[in-house]
Structure 1
Amino acid sequence: MAVGDGKSVTPILEGEENLIAAAQHIVKALGTKKNLTDDVRKILADLGTQLSSMSTVNETKDEGVSEIEERLNLVQEKVMNWETDQSMIWDCGPEEAFEYVNTVEEARKLTESLETLYLDEGGEGNKLLRRAHDVLQMAMARLEEEFRHMLIQNRQPFEPEHMSFRSSEEDVVDEGSIISFEDDPAGDLLQRDSISRFSEDYIINLVHPDVIPELKCIANLMFISNYDQECSHAYICVRKDALDECLFILEMEKLSIEDVLRMEWASLNSKIKRWIRAMKIFVRVYLASEKFLSDQIFGELGSVSSVCFVEASKVSILQLLNFGEAIAIGPHQPEKLFRILDMYEVLADLLPDIDSLFPDEAGCCVKNECREVLRRLGDCVRVTFLEFENAVASNTSTTPFAGGGIHHLTKYVMNYIRTLTDYSDSLNLLLRDHDREDPVLLSPDMSPHREEENNGGSSPCIVSPMALHFRSVASILECNLEDRSKLYKDASLQHFFLMNNIHYMAQKVKGSELRVVFGDGWIRKHNWKFQQHAMNYERATWSSMLSLLKDDGLHNHSWNSVSKSLLKERFRTFNVAFEEVYKTQTAWLIPDHQLRDDLRISTSLKVVQAYRTFWGRHTHDISDKYIKYNPDDIENHLLDLFEGSPRSLNPHRR
């Protein structure tokens, strides 16, 4: 048979099998020719072997596709049966769940087998491959649904009973500003919250532990089937909702920056205290537990665990940080300083926790935002403290303070800075003046020489930034008090007022943590100051009266005897002056019991002793009707002074 005559070749070749068969027939026909060389015969023999091999592969492929189709039919039937069933597979028991997982695994393997056969587009095998993909997709959708359902239904309730964080509307808040300086500066406004770690550092089960293996199994199966995005998305959505619920339980509302800036301080103060508590619980308990849950389910899948955790949690943590940012950019009112410091310290304290929870690139946005909010809160602390200094300096009055007692400004300022000592580490960091080579210049009454004196003549020590600022505030306060004292027309009341207030400042420093900040030298200096004012008060009040109790000018030189008329005038003048002092100074107030007793004793030693001597020397020189008070009367009346209740003397005649 001649090659190419076409009579021995099948007229129409259909499909790959017919082509191979035709090629084998041609090679066999050519091989019968006698005039072929050995080389041509060898080539035809090799070609025949290859064609025979291709025919065998096709036969095997046909058998494999047939077997896969039978298995796929069974898998599809099982998957479709569950599609028509409304119940959840894992709720039906472990056997049904195990069977369904095996079914899905079978679908995945069948799909992979069909893909390895490299079936031609448009052929019967490719149609089978598309059907396998459809079955697998249907199974994956069902697994995603089961995964979501299991996460939601087995969520553990979040009830942080270990910490009393509900501090909302019943909080009593002092709404007085630094400008008003109310009477009770040591109230809620200046009290620092007790914020400790106690039992916060532990993991709670956010999802029931019994279902973790099932969740992990579903996740692994979806990931190995290239449905990782669907699985991750389902997890992130469910856990986002759980985190929102956690913030709701912690009473953290979703507030915009504008909402926060418009809020009244009383309400804002309460929300800040909630934020402080919520941040510690949310980060150390909830986020730590959230991270643990993510690692349990996705831990074997590389970086997936970290990405899922970050995507699920970042909206909630950024919501909390957004509140901190709103506080930081708000008005720098001095009464807010303690709450802002609390926020700064809790965020600084949580920074290592946040770094450990978000160590990867995926969590950089959270770490960066946390550091930015911390920086802004620090700037807010620094500016607010300077505003406090300015407020003290600018707090002036045109009317004298009634009674010459301890001014509200003095109480407020000293209690304010005493409370600030609780934040010494933060303040020393934030108040450091990087632009000054010599920070001592910050305080008007502190120089290196004076600092050496304050330390008892020993070598100068380094003064902390906080100490310098506190001494500066105290110096500003003293200047303010000096100006206020000048509002009194009575010189004795000027000294009385300064004595009271400087004594209060010295005692506040001496009896608190401020002693370390100000130093014993400062205390000695101010003890001397208030004692000087006490002496000046006595001199201004009693000097003219004590001069009446001297014999100078009483004697009649002609007769060498006491002038009775002059003596009567002396007693009358003394009585009027004493009664005026009594009426006036019983209205004056020394709140400190010890200072009040000390001044009474000091006054008695001078006045009563002088009166007793004068009275004893001249009580027989004139009639008793001209002597209204005996020495004991004077001594008893002096005990009525400085009580803050005005009285008048109406003594009976002896």
Structure 2
Amino acid sequence: MLAAPVPGSLPLRTYRDSIRRVSVSGSQCRSALLLFTSSSDTEAGDGAYCWSSASSASSPCPSLDAWARCSPLSSSFSSGWEAAEDPDGVEELRAIALQMVHDGYMQGLIRAFGDGRSSSAHRRGLGFGLKESLLGSWFSELDVEWVLSIGKGDREQLHLEDGFASLLDMMERWIKALKTMVQVFCITQQELRAKRPTVAVGGVRKAIWHFMLLATGKMDEREQEVAQFVRFAEASILRMLDFVDAVADAALNDDQAPEMLPGMLLVYTCVVDDSPAVLALFEEASMASSMFDAMNSVFLRKMNRLSDAIWSMMEKVRASFVTDDSWRVSSAEAGGVHKTTRLMMNYIMLLSRNERALSLILQDQQRHLSHQPDYYSSSVDILIKDMISCLEKQLEKTSNFISDPGLRYIFLMNNCSFISQKVSSLLLPSWTLFEDYKIDRPKKRDPRERPPPMEDYVNQPDPNLQEQIETDSNLDGLLMIQSFIEAYLDASWEPVMSCLYHDIPRGFLKLGGRLDKFETEFDETYKKQKQWKVPNPELRKRLRKAIVEKVIPGYSKYFAERTAKGKSNRPPINTPLELGEQLEELFEG
């Protein structure tokens, strides 16, 4: 039997260093809210998300302003991390836990903690101090010694003044510590069970075995070991759970709480996942029934506290997305995907990837949402649909401030294409995207008029889309983007083509004929739109093809009709082939 460990007698930070080297989902805390890439171009990669540890106090929307200043991080909530063999580091942490037990470290620590509770220790004034010292050594090896100060009401131990990088780092360390601690206790409990007679020893043999244990005093020793283990486990878990209240307070009392949301979801998931194993520790000991009930109540309170904090943070995030300052857009920014679109879709991806935890949180929040009978608060899909609907409305509202009709539809195309791609990648139900738009052909309009609201421009798909539509699960997204292409062609290229076929007032003949007018309009439109950007290569290809199919046949037809009527043609500046080559250069930015 190993002697009780004396703090400092074992190699310092042997286990601590090993735990620090483990990469777990908690390390994704640092990447925060699945934020957008630093480049507006999707070529930067959907996985290049970022987060900020600071924000502008002068910004009317500090959270979004801080997010916008991010730079890409290699480690993020991207799709790649889910494919890791051990994304939560469970196997590595279990190996460390096994080492702690097999080295005799835990056995000595538990025995020393039990000795600290003895009456003789208390008479010598060593009880409380020795227990705190042992817990300090234990928590130090777990890399969370600062947690012990939280229970004393010292919330400054969270170092909130250092910014969120420090707090998120603590979340990661706490998650790894709790997972390791629970593994250690489960392994230790298994070893204690192995020392007891099994149910396979029945009848007379079982009675003899039981009598021998009583006669030798080993039954009392076994019970004492179990009691010491249970008390040590109880003390350790309760002190670890003090962090939950501290981090919930930090989340609720700070303006930058939304940046902690991913980490908070991981903390909540960790508590939910590990609570059954912890409660199982108290099911078998003879004196542990009251401990089981008490610990169960503690876990319920902690989960409710985290649930309330996370829900409050989610409401803050949603509110930050609908401020006018979040949706400002200049002509230069109208091309590409709006930064708030990226933020909202990355937030939606965060919700989807945490569906299990969020389902529990939403169920817990039903009492707060009882005044909304039509809101299915237990469904993450409904929550996501609500967010996408909000995003659609914000995009339409923002597009109305773009003066150029063609650019307005480029803006809508870029953003809705980005949304559609993300929704498809998450395998969300088809009704989550563009559900409210009707399928109807637009009426012809005067190209000089302001384009109508985008819901009036939803069209039946052209024949070239039919095959894609039959195989694509996101039918509504395809139809919506096709409607924007049709509206864009009507706004930008119909006025150009009308020069070849609409009558020109007699007073303008001296300024040149229809071909002259067409070439002037084409040149102006081409030069302007060559500077516009469509980041999605598939959408860019599709849009160029639609323009070519609208312009080139009409251009060729104009010359063919004049020749058929015996009218002379001056040589055009560009042949149809050359015109098509020019159009293939559009939207590079």
TM-score by length of 1: 0.61
CA distance in 1, matches of 2:516, 2:51: 52
2:249 equivalent among 329, 339, 354 = 329
1:249 equivalent among 129, 137, 141 = 141
Secondary structure in structure 2 of the residue aligned to 1:478: helix
Change (3 A) 1:418 1:513: farther
Change (3 A) 1:228 1:546: closer
Q: What is the aligned partner in structure 1 of residue 568 from structure 2?
A: 621
CA distance in 2, matches of 1:511, 1:149: 53
Change (3 A) 1:439 1:547: same
Deviation at 1:552, TM superposition (A): 4.5
Counterpart contact for 1:179–1:391, Cα < 8 Å: yes
Counterpart contact for 1:608–1:634, Cα < 8 Å: yes
Letter in 1 for 2:309: C
Counterpart contact for 1:329–1:376, Cα < 8 Å: no
Answering whether residue 178 of structure 2 is matched by residue 282 of structure 1, we say: no
Q: What is the aligned partner in structure 1 of residue 496 from structure 2?
A: 545
User: What is the Cα-based RMSD across aligned positions, in Å?
Assistant: 4.5
Deviation at 1:641, TM superposition (A): 0.8
Deviation at 1:471, TM superposition (A): 0.7
Change (3 A) 1:151 1:474: closer
Secondary structure in structure 1 of the residue aligned to 2:15: coil
Counterpart contact for 2:29–2:260, Cα < 8 Å: no
Counterpart contact for 2:335–2:414, Cα < 8 Å: yes
Q: What is the aligned partner in structure 2 of residue 230 from structure 1?
A: 120
Deviation at 1:187, TM superposition (A): 6.7
Answering whether residue 325 of structure 2 is matched by residue 374 of structure 1, we say: no
Deviation at 1:269, TM superposition (A): 1.6
Counterpart contact for 2:272–2:303, Cα < 8 Å: yes
CA distance in 2, matches of 1:488, 1:151: 68
Change (3 A) 1:321 1:633: same
CA distance in 1, matches of 2:575, 2:264: 62
Deviation at 1:573, TM superposition (A): 2.0
Q: Give matches, 1:76-87, under 5 Å.
A: none
1:466-522 deviation per Cα after TM superposition (whole angstroms, max 9, x unaligned) = 111111111111111112111111112112211211122122112223347838978
2:521 equivalent among 577, 593, 612 = 577
Show structure 2 runs of 5+ residues with no match.
Answer: 32-49, 54-61, 196-216, 437-473
Q: What is the aligned partner in structure 1 of residue 15 from structure 2?
A: 159
Q: Give matches, 1:282-321, under 5 Å.
A: 282-285=181-184, 288-289=187-188, 300-301=220-221, 304-321=224-241
Change (3 A) 1:313 1:200: same
Letter in 2 for 1:244: G
Change (3 A) 1:403 1:349: same
Deviation at 1:582, TM superposition (A): 1.6
Q: What is the aligned partner in structure 1 of residue 330 from structure 2?
A: 400
Q: What is the aligned partner in structure 2 of residue 414 from structure 1?
A: 345
Change (3 A) 1:573 1:494: same
2:51 equivalent among 134, 156, 174 = 174
Change (3 A) 1:565 1:235: same
CA distance in 2, matches of 1:474, 1:571: 46
Answering whether residue 315 of structure 2 is matched by residue 353 of structure 1, we say: no
Change (3 A) 1:328 1:571: same
1:195 equivalent among 66, 76, 88 = 88
Counterpart contact for 2:144–2:177, Cα < 8 Å: yes
Counterpart contact for 1:179–1:395, Cα < 8 Å: no
Letter in 2 for 1:247: F
Counterpart contact for 2:7–2:133, Cα < 8 Å: no
Q: How many matched pairs?
A: 466
Letter in 2 for 1:257: R
Change (3 A) 1:508 1:208: closer
Deviation at 1:241, TM superposition (A): 3.7
1:476 equivalent among 390, 394, 418 = 390
Letter in 1 for 2:568: D
Secondary structure in structure 2 of the residue aligned to 1:441: coil
Secondary structure in structure 1 of the residue aligned to 2:513: helix
Deviation at 1:230, TM superposition (A): 2.8
1:331-381 deviation per Cα after TM superposition (whole angstroms, max 9, x unaligned) = 353232211111111111110121122441357655543332222111122
CA distance in 1, matches of 2:584, 2:318: 39
Deviation at 1:158, TM superposition (A): 5.5
Counterpart contact for 1:165–1:278, Cα < 8 Å: no
Counterpart contact for 1:405–1:589, Cα < 8 Å: yes
Secondary structure in structure 2 of the residue aligned to 1:159: helix
Counterpart contact for 2:101–2:107, Cα < 8 Å: no
Letter in 1 for 2:244: G
Letter in 2 for 1:195: D
Q: What is the aligned partner in structure 2 of residue 121 from structure 1?
A: none
Counterpart contact for 1:534–1:599, Cα < 8 Å: yes
CA distance in 1, matches of 2:106, 2:73: 53
Q: What is the aligned partner in structure 2 of residue 27 from structure 1?
A: none
Answering whether residue 537 of structure 2 is matched by residue 593 of structure 1, we say: yes
CA distance in 2, matches of 1:362, 1:416: 40
Change (3 A) 1:582 1:299: farther
Answering whether residue 407 of structure 2 is matched by residue 441 of structure 1, we say: no
CA distance in 2, matches of 1:205, 1:163: 15
Change (3 A) 1:417 1:184: farther
Q: What is the aligned partner in structure 1 of residue 577 from structure 2?
A: 632
Deviation at 1:642, TM superposition (A): 1.0
Counterpart contact for 1:404–1:496, Cα < 8 Å: yes
By relative contact order (CA 8 Å, sep 6+), the higher-ranking structure is 2
Change (3 A) 1:189 1:439: farther
Q: What is the aligned partner in structure 1 of residue 466 from structure 2?
A: none
1:430 equivalent among 361, 374, 382 = 361
Letter in 2 for 1:485: S
Counterpart contact for 2:544–2:584, Cα < 8 Å: yes
CA distance in 1, matches of 2:578, 2:77: 45
CA distance in 1, matches of 2:282, 2:145: 24
CA distance in 1, matches of 2:228, 2:533: 68
Change (3 A) 1:170 1:500: closer
CA distance in 2, matches of 1:299, 1:540: 89
CA distance in 1, matches of 2:118, 2:156: 39
Deviation at 1:618, TM superposition (A): 4.7
CA distance in 2, matches of 1:210, 1:282: 13
Q: Identity of aligned pairs, percent?
A: 22
Q: Give matches, 1:21-36, under 5 Å.
A: none
1:48-83 deviation per Cα after TM superposition (whole angstroms, max 9, x unaligned) = xxxxxxxxxxxxxxxxxxxxxxxxxxxxxxxxxxxx
Letter in 2 for 1:488: I
Letter in 1 for 2:343: Y
Answering whether residue 547 of structure 2 is matched by residue 603 of structure 1, we say: yes
Q: What is the aligned partner in structure 2 of residue 85 from structure 1?
A: none
Deviation at 1:605, TM superposition (A): 0.6
Secondary structure in structure 1 of the residue aligned to 2:251: coil
